[in-house]
Structure 1
Amino acid sequence: MFNPNDGFLYVIVTIVILFVIIESVFFLVKAWRRAEALKMDKKLLQNTVVSSAIFTIAPAVAILLGVIALSKALGFPLPWLRLSVIGALTYETTAAATAAAAQGVTLGNLITDPQVFAAIAWVMTLGIIPGLVLVPVFSKKIEKGLTRIKSKDQKWGDIFLTGLFLGMISAFLGVIFATIGQGLVGWIPVFVMIASAIIMLICGLLRKLFKWKWLEDYALPISMLGAMALSLPITNLVTAIAG
């Protein structure tokens, strides 16, 4: 019987993740040395590294929760690989659920059918590859096009960038509002999003009232972690009311 938690899969995933970590450390050292060669302020560099490290905490917590959720059906190695290297929580869970549903199974129980598991793994992997190809090929052309638009008309350039940003946000909003037809319980993601927005608003007010400039770098991870913490009591409260 196929085992999604087989030791061989752990070995493969560990090798890939170690390679990515080594690559990240390599470029971090290269960037730091380059900054020193340009005589950049070391305090600025340290603050940048610290704020970037803290900024990764909130997404890391979400990724960990995603790995745990998907591991019930796909084992630990595959979700660990997909979510820790290049995958996104919103994409990977949707891709896995869609691929499973197409084969008449759900992600509730551990999948031991190798064909079903392989199909889900291929869907999760192939779906993210176009981004790897499109970014290096078209990113500079898109950037030049945006610069050209802003140089001709600053107002329309700002509107166009705002439209792109809202389009990206709409993709996430679709996931958040996808379950509202299920009743009050389906509104839980919306309530969590509102809680995150309120925390962000409070951070903005504190920044403005007390002149805490340092809060600008930490407002986003604070709001994300705060919403994650509040998601548990919100879920319990809404479930109790709906039940």
Structure 2
Amino acid sequence: MASTLVPGVTPGQDGDGADRVKMWETRWEQGETAFHKSNVHKMLEKLMPKLNPDGNLKKILVPLCGKSVDMKWLADQGIVAIGIEGVPQAIQEFFTENSLERVESNVSGLGPSGKLHQSRDSMIKIYGGDMLQFSTTVEGTFDAIWDRGSLVALDREDVPGYAKILTDVLNKGGRILVEVMEYTNQSLSVLEESARPPPPHAMFEPQMRDLFEPQCTVEKVDHDCLKFAGRVDFNLAYYLIVKK
């Protein structure tokens, strides 16, 4: 897998990742979570046959899951939903808002503050800790991953390491469905500077191929539009990544 998009880092080299998630913790504390959807993501529902073509999917990874209701929806389909999230508030709100009893335990492999939060039936597990320390030693391997905006939320220097983690924990033939945002700096000019991204960072097809090929195939399978800050139309692109 190539990693020439931006300078790479070794996964986990930043200790427990406290600095990495500080900005996101502040946004959760201040209620700046417009990225959270109160309904199941329509494109996940639409593209699920591509992510789970034989209908036999048993376990799926949802990195940087926040309090996504996609986790509950996946579990209701009989699929064990495994999330990773660095902001404790997001994890707490997920279990509270879904009326799920939470069982908590300490775990290794995600930094000194790593914890596992899971439902009583173990159909939903959210690991609290540093995403860039996640590995097969934490939760084994997966046949599917749903990345809804995680790739575009990360600092650019963390992207190659993150992409490597996804492919490392993915089984041969496993699939990743990725949502990314496409925009240009010129399109942001109508917004006040304080309201402009990134994050989310823009990503285009050449960058996706640079990250995941030749270890995986990369196919753009759908697109949608998003009105950012109520004023700017952004293109949302959906990629299916399949490990060879």
Using structure 2 for the length normalisation, give the TM-score: 0.27
Instruction: Please identify which structure carries the higher helix content.
Output: 1
Instruction: Please identify which structure carries the higher strand content.
Output: 2
Asked which structure has the greater CA Rg, the reply is: 1
